[in-house]
Structure 1
Amino acid sequence: MFLFRQAAVDKDSNDNSTLLCVKFKTTDKSVYSKALAEYISSSYAEPPEAYRDDLRVLDELREAAAATFDVNSNVLKRNIRYYGQLSFILTKFPADANINFMWSSAFDPESGASGKDLYFERASVLFNIGAFYSQLGCRESRNDKDSLTRAFGHFQNAAGVFNLLRSKIVSECRTQLTTDLSSYMLTTLENLMLCQAQECVWQRSVLTHMKDANVARIAMQVVEFYDAAIESGSQGSLTSTIPASWVDHFKIKRLFFLAEAQTKKANECLAGAHYGEEVARLQAAQELCNQAQELVNYDQRWAKHIRPVIVDALKAQQEFVSTSRTRAERDNDVIYLDPVPAVTSLAPVTPYKLAMPKCPEIIENPGAFLGEEELGTPLFKGLVPFVIHQAASLYEDRKDQLISKDIVAVLDELTADCESVLASLNLPNALEAIQKPIGLPPSVLVGADEIRSDGGYIGLKRLLDNALKSNQSATALVDASEKALDDEMREDAQVRLGAAPGSERAKRVESTELTNTFRSEIQKYRGIVEKARESDAALQSQVEAWSKFFMLLSSSRDEIERQVPSTTANPLTDPHHSQIIARLQQYMGEVSIMRRERLKSIEKLKRLASEDDVAPVLNEEMQRLAAQSSTPILKFELHQFEDLFAERLDKYTSWKVYIEEEREAQSELLDSIREANQAFIAARSTHPLLQQREKALVNLETAIKRYREASFNLHDGARFYASLEADLNKLKEGCLDFAMARHIDAQDLMGISQSDMPSDISQAPYDASTAPSAPSAPPNSSQGGTWDPTMPLRYAPSK
């Protein structure tokens, strides 16, 4: 019987082979040394000179692995060594270490992908290792048992490599991949390699004259592998990626081995005197041969994908099956007269699986071979793994989060609560009115200086006027855009007025169908301008309400002091009152001490955190884990350091006790201040000018806040109007361009000469009033304070 043997061994082509091999991926030149040296220096804070030899060796390994491939064991070892070192390097550097790798697709050299991803580099190298094993298997002569055994091993190794690539390696890649690294393609390649490995077993079983029943079962397993290859090879977009001849090859081989299984099973029936079943199985085999011949005829008529050596094999099989069937039918009809069962009733042939994916251990576990001759000394062995730097960074983040959010923020909130309570009691302003019966508090002096340097009330009014003008300009731009569309719509109505049915004028597309986008934009911007106008009006009301105070704060210090009542003429001289004031001053002093001590504690905490270096402890933990491992390729995960993090951060929990102590002490102090303030208020009630002075100082403080709010909103609004003006000008120009184009079309339809139109559309009428002014748009601003802005700036005696 004819065997699928290697017809010829061609170094540059496998067209004369009955098996398929995988071509190599190609790559552009990439250099590690510069990028990794910079990374070591910047991210690891180590001198890159210490790793000069490692960088050189790594560049040499890549250059050798990417060189033109000769299919021999030395080149394969060179690629495996590079792959093993890459696997180790990935424990030292991040995948995106700023080195760009470009790889082509093995099935389409013109198509490729690139990315700064060491995992992509490793996956591409591993793909070529799988291709190496496939080519080594195809280059075996397969004319004897030893050659078939070697080919069987190579194909199993190729299947194992593609399986490892699909199940573990590709999933780690972080960049766009070439199509040959897709899950469907790798599954197809794995199935193909298993097909060819099982085919080597079948061929060896035929050469060694194994029992026909076993040969049939081995052939049936080849069929199952090809079924899997056909299924995965026909998935989705893979049909446009996989070579066109491959799926046809799969289908032909499947039919061949189905016929082979039935033929061998028929031989078993003949030996067991089951003559009717022998005839039925040979009939089934001949039908399969006919189906294969139909595929061959179709292919030779159109695509010519199927190799001649396979066509010859199919012809030999068909002749053998036909001769055997003729002999079996004649013998049964003349001699045995055994009933011939229907082909559909024949028991199926049970597959016998011998081929399976077997990834070489040096590829599946390269760490076990680092330091040995196969892979050499691990490169960058002394470099701290990148995950340790990640762990240190993660610890720092958690520590900062704990300190800033759970400690410092809580202390700041306590201080803010204290400030809020004091402000509600008008402290320390009320005390300053007593302690400083004349003059102005520092906060008022600083605020007044700031207002004067900012231009004062006049400058604020100028910004407000600009905002109002900008809003008017924006409104004019929106109106101009809408007017252009309205004029065009009226002209369009005139064009179709009185037009004959079916004429070009009657068929003209109506304006309403063309201007929906413009109309929507106009409506949107009109709403924006209206909201901005409302915001401007609210801000104008606020500025006008506080204008007297803004003008006062814009004047000299002497003028402001003259407007603030002085209590020098009637101080609090009662001894009891003096005691009340002294007690309140004492409590306020304690508040100041509490704030200072709290700031000192926060500084102490920050010093403690800055001295908390977790890196040495992480290195010790890494060395401990490494000592427990049997391989230098350790994939450290951040979760492995969680217990260490918890232990290190535990020392900061004592600060939560300090926070509770501070909260309790502050609560007691504020209660005392509230009590003392009640007595202080009672004492002040007899002082005629004191309340007026306090009221004046509070109003000045509030006016300074209102000025800052208005100034910020007006400056922010100016930026808003500048952007809005640009958008509205684009909208207006778009509407004008549309209207002009439609006007020209209308003139043509109406038969009006183009000479009646302006020669330069830039000369079209234009309203100069739409020119934009200085922009400004105030966001909404709240109005408040204790002073009634409708009242004149006078302070009447309290009742």
Structure 2
Amino acid sequence: MSNLLPVPFKKTYSADVASAARIYLLEHGETHPDAVKTDIKQWQQLRSKIVDLKVHANSISDILRYHAQLTSIITKLPVDVQLEISYAPVFSPSGLPISLNNLIFERAALLFNLGALFSQLAASEDRSNIDGIKRAAANFQCASGTFQYLRTIVLPTFLFPPSEEDCPIDLSSPFIHVLEYLTLAQAQECFWQKAKIDNRTNGLVSKLAAGTMDLYGKALTAALEATPAVKHMFPSDWLAHIEAKRCHFEAVAYYRKSREEVENSRYGPEIAYLTLARSAIQKGYDVARKAKIFAALLNDIQAEMAKKETARAERDNDLIYHHDMPPTSSLPVIQPLIVAQPATPKELSNPHLLVATNEMLFSSLMGWGTREAINIYNDRKKNLIEEDLVNPAKESRQLAERTLQSLSLPASLDALERHIGLPPSLLKKAEEVRLEDGPAKIEAAIEDLYRLSRQNSKLLNEAMDILDHEASEDESARGSMLLDRAPSHEANAHVVEKERRYRAILNQAAASDETIRVKWDQWDRNITELTWDEADLEASVPSSTKQARSSETEARARELRTFLESLDEIQEDRENLIRRARALADVDDIQPRILKAAAGLERLAEAQPAMFEDVSNDELAKYDKFVQYMKNLDTKQQDILNSIEAKRKCPLLAIEKGF
């Protein structure tokens, strides 16, 4: 009888995959089920293979292949497609199964059975020979790696039902953690057994045994510290078995350490370690006897041998060595050596090793999480434009209208004589011309154009002179000797062609320069007038009215008119801003980036809309500049309104013409 614990399968039952998939696609999908009927059929076939699993290596590939396809299915469809999936509790195959409409539940249970299959294959190996031990160790490590993958990668995505009756306790993280440690401990035990058969040193075997004890201890602690529901899922003899194993390997570690002490002539510590070994053996003996697992562990717990070894060591020490036995509490702790490591099948984390991307089921469908992420982004984009641009613009416009109406503007300005000087926009342009010394700058620029044109023509002429000189020398040389090379006019044909192109460009540029010169001559006088001071400039423009007004009133009226024009410009800027934002939104397609991000996800089965939040936020950041500019316009508008209120209260404007 094996002294190792294989994990049993979770029994499952047939499920009508085809009907559930067809109904979902008809009601919710963008693709007709007939377009993917081959995929639906293959899904049904893959699941049928894992309903009645056999303890055989071929079953590993069946599970891995179905798992690979399941990862693709979960990215294309939501986890609930109204497909009822049933699994019985692991230690009650004939008990009432738990049924859930959840594809993550299917994936978790599938991985559980893969880990169980690895453990059963390991336990069935003949460990009386080295090859059998190696295979058992490898399978136990794969079992532990599978349970670890299930616990750390898949279970965090599985939302357990709120009802305890529908909650699969044997798929909870604490329960799986126990199995992860247990299978790893049994893999470590295989390494310890191999070291013993290979006659490794007592020190090494002692450390391996200590590592095995440590892993069994972690499995036991994980079970005992779990909730009562998890703890009671395990058969009572399992926990007793694990505890007895921990005690056994504690005893083995102490016993082998005592052998190492003898080899180094430390007879006092030898007796102390043997004493600890006997204590651990007795504890394990008691646990095994109470749980009635004595027969399975009889070969492991050998109290009689430890008792005889202790008696021999004490007798030899009393008669021969006379070493003091140190207190057991002062003995150095045996450092555990753990060589067993969880080995996750690479096909779990990378399903494409088994199935090519184009062979994944429903590969023609856009992923459910991807599709939802795109819809969410488009809604957020639309809401952003309305809430952060359109509505604030409307409110700001209404605020400006109310403020101006309360100040009787622009009606009060219209009551003044219409002619109030030159338009502010013209004065603004004139100021720019004066500050930049416009005419002089234009004259300098035109002169620079002519100078550069002459310089370029000179360079081109010099280059052609050099070619002509070279051609003359070549012709003279050919008259005096036989040359085996192309004549100069042939060798330099491409250079001459370049000269023609450059000459044409220069001629065209010269024509353009002349056009600019003519235009400048036409407008020189008008632009020069813009450099005059404001009074001279205004005097040069014919006035439409002869009524005299105070210069100060005119200046203040112009200032108010300038403010009103600025408000109009701000409103126009808002409208342009909204048009630009909407134009961007019309061509803004996040789908390529979402699809790229989905393709790069390391864990495809977890592709949920929330996983693309960073992509969505990054894309929405394009609209931040519009929002900020809108806020800047609001600030600018408020400053102008404040200035208008201050100017409107001026006494001079209040007394003239009823203003």
* Bucket of the pairwise TM-score, normalised by the shorter protein: 0.5 to 0.7
Partner of 1:620: 592
Which amino acid in structure 2 is aligned with residue 396 of structure 1? N
| Superposition CA RMSD, Å | 4.0
Matched, 1:214 2:204: yes
Matched, 1:405 2:392: no
Cα offset, 1:412, TM superposition: 6.8
Residue of 248, 255, 261 corresponding to 1:256 = 248
d(CA) in 2 for partners of 1:345, 1:650? 68
SS of match in other structure, 1:349: coil
Distance 1:387 1:309, change over 3 A: closer
Distance 1:365 1:347, change over 3 A: same
SS of match in other structure, 2:81: coil
Partner of 1:755: none
d(CA) in 1 for partners of 2:48, 2:600? 35
Matched, 1:115 2:100: yes
Cα offset, 1:88, TM superposition: 2.0
Partner of 1:139: 124
d(CA) in 2 for partners of 1:226, 1:129? 22
| Residues 460-501 of structure 1: per-residue CA shift (max 9 Å, x gap) | xxxxxxxxxxxxxxxxxxxxxxxxxxxxxxxxxxxxxxxxxx
| Residues 185-215 of structure 1: per-residue CA shift (max 9 Å, x gap) | 1111111111101110111111111111111
| Residues 748-793 of structure 1: per-residue CA shift (max 9 Å, x gap) | xxxxxxxxxxxxxxxxxxxxxxxxxxxxxxxxxxxxxxxxxxxxxx
**How many pairs are equivalent?**
468
TM-score norm. by structure 2 comes to: 0.63
Q: Contact 1:191–1:225 (CA<8 Å) still a contact in 2?
A: yes
Which amino acid in structure 2 is aligned with residue 17 of structure 1? S
SS of match in other structure, 1:637: helix
SS of match in other structure, 2:119: helix
d(CA) in 2 for partners of 1:392, 1:275? 75
Matched, 1:19 2:4: yes
Partner of 2:369: 387
Distance 1:608 1:254, change over 3 A: closer
Distance 1:100 1:337, change over 3 A: same
| Residues 88-115 of structure 1: per-residue CA shift (max 9 Å, x gap) | 2222222233333232321344355433
d(CA) in 1 for partners of 2:625, 2:23? 37
Partner of 2:40: 55
Which amino acid in structure 1 is aligned with residue 43 of structure 2? L
Partner of 1:97: 81
d(CA) in 2 for partners of 1:613, 1:32? 40
Which runs of structure 2 are paired with 1:558-707 in the superposition (5 Å)? 612=586, 617-622=589-594, 624-625=596-597, 635=607, 637-647=612-622
Which runs of structure 2 are paired with 1:733-752 in the superposition (5 Å)? none
Which runs of structure 2 are paired with 1:157-306 in the superposition (5 Å)? 157-176=142-161, 177-235=167-225, 236-237=227-228, 238-297=230-289, 299=290, 303-304=291-292, 306=293
Residue of 67, 83, 87 corresponding to 2:71 = 87
d(CA) in 2 for partners of 1:409, 1:49? 47
Q: Contact 2:122–2:136 (CA<8 Å) still a contact in 1?
A: yes
Cα offset, 1:124, TM superposition: 1.3
SS of match in other structure, 2:87: strand
| Residues 259-318 of structure 1: per-residue CA shift (max 9 Å, x gap) | 111211222222222223222222222222222233334x1xxx53x251213542xx11
TM-score norm. by structure 1 comes to: 0.52
Distance 1:233 1:414, change over 3 A: same
d(CA) in 1 for partners of 2:581, 2:337? 72
Partner of 1:125: 110
Q: Contact 1:367–1:631 (CA<8 Å) still a contact in 2?
A: no
Which runs of structure 2 are paired with 1:267-346 in the superposition (5 Å)? 267-297=259-289, 299=290, 303-304=291-292, 306-314=293-301, 317-346=302-331
Unpaired segments ≥5 residues, structure 1:
1-15, 425-597, 672-799
Q: Contact 1:368–1:632 (CA<8 Å) still a contact in 2?
A: no
Which amino acid in structure 1 is aligned with residue 168 of structure 2? T
d(CA) in 1 for partners of 2:30, 2:287? 66
Q: Contact 1:112–1:178 (CA<8 Å) still a contact in 2?
A: no
Cα offset, 1:628, TM superposition: 7.1
Distance 1:58 1:610, change over 3 A: farther
Distance 1:29 1:612, change over 3 A: farther
Cα offset, 1:51, TM superposition: 0.8
| Residues 701-729 of structure 1: per-residue CA shift (max 9 Å, x gap) | xxxxxxxxxxxxxxxxxxxxxxxxxxxxx
Cα offset, 1:25, TM superposition: 1.3
Paired-residue identity, % = 29
Which amino acid in structure 1 is aligned with residue 195 of structure 2? S
Q: Contact 2:370–2:595 (CA<8 Å) still a contact in 1?
A: no
Which amino acid in structure 1 is aligned with residue 348 of structure 2? I
Which amino acid in structure 1 is aligned with residue 384 of structure 2? L
d(CA) in 1 for partners of 2:601, 2:231? 44
SS of match in other structure, 1:102: strand
| Residues 666-698 of structure 1: per-residue CA shift (max 9 Å, x gap) | x9xxx9xxxxxxxxxxxxxxxxxxxxxxxxxxx
Distance 1:417 1:101, change over 3 A: farther
Distance 1:414 1:285, change over 3 A: closer
Distance 1:613 1:79, change over 3 A: farther
Cα offset, 1:329, TM superposition: 2.3
Which amino acid in structure 2 is aligned with residue 75 of structure 1? S
| Residues 537-584 of structure 1: per-residue CA shift (max 9 Å, x gap) | xxxxxxxxxxxxxxxxxxxxxxxxxxxxxxxxxxxxxxxxxxxxxxxx
Q: Contact 2:12–2:86 (CA<8 Å) still a contact in 1?
A: yes
Cα offset, 1:257, TM superposition: 1.1
Distance 1:94 1:331, change over 3 A: same
Q: Contact 1:262–1:281 (CA<8 Å) still a contact in 2?
A: yes
